[in-house]
Amino acid sequence: MWLDHPRNPKAPLAGIKMLELARVLAGPWAGQILADLGADVIKVESPEGDGTRQWGPPWVERTDKTGKVHREAAYYHACNRGKRSIIADFRDDADLERVRELAVSADVLIENFKTGSLDKFGLDYASLKASNPALVYCSITGFGQTGPRAHEAGYDFVIQGMSGFMSVTGEPEGDPVKMGVSISDLSTGVYAANGIQAALIQRARTGAGQLVDMSLLDCSVALLANQATYFLTTGENPPRMGNAHAQVAPYGVFPVRGGHVILAPANDRLFRKLAELLGLPELAEDVRFVTNGDRTANAAALDTEIANATRTWSKAELLAECKAKGVPAGPINRLDEVFADPQVIARQLRVDLGGMPGVRSPFTFSDAELALDRPSPMQGEDD
Q: Which residues are catalytic?
A: 185
Residue by residue, what is the 3-state secondary structure of 167-236? HHCCCCCCCCCCCCCCHHHHHHHHHHHHHHHHHHHHHHHHCCCEEEEEEHHHHHHHCCHHHHHHHHHHCC
Helix (H) or strand (E) holding 323: helix 315-325
Candidates 11, 78, 92, 89; CA nearest to 44 is 89
Q: DSSP string covering 23-62, please?
A: -SSHHHHHHHHHHHTT-EEEEEE-TT--GGGG--SSEEEE
Local structure of 11: helix, strand or coil: coil
d(CA 79, CA 33) in angstroms, rounded, equals 9
Counting Cα atoms < 13 Å in the Cβ hemisphere of 345 gives 6
Residues whose CB falls within 8 Å of the CB of residue 47, separated by 6 or more in sequence, listed in order: 87, 89
In 257-367, where do the E strands start and end?
259-263, 329-331, 350-353, 356-359
The residues, ordered by sequence, that sit 6+ positions from 322 with a Cβ below 8 Å of its Cβ are 263, 274, 277, 328, 329
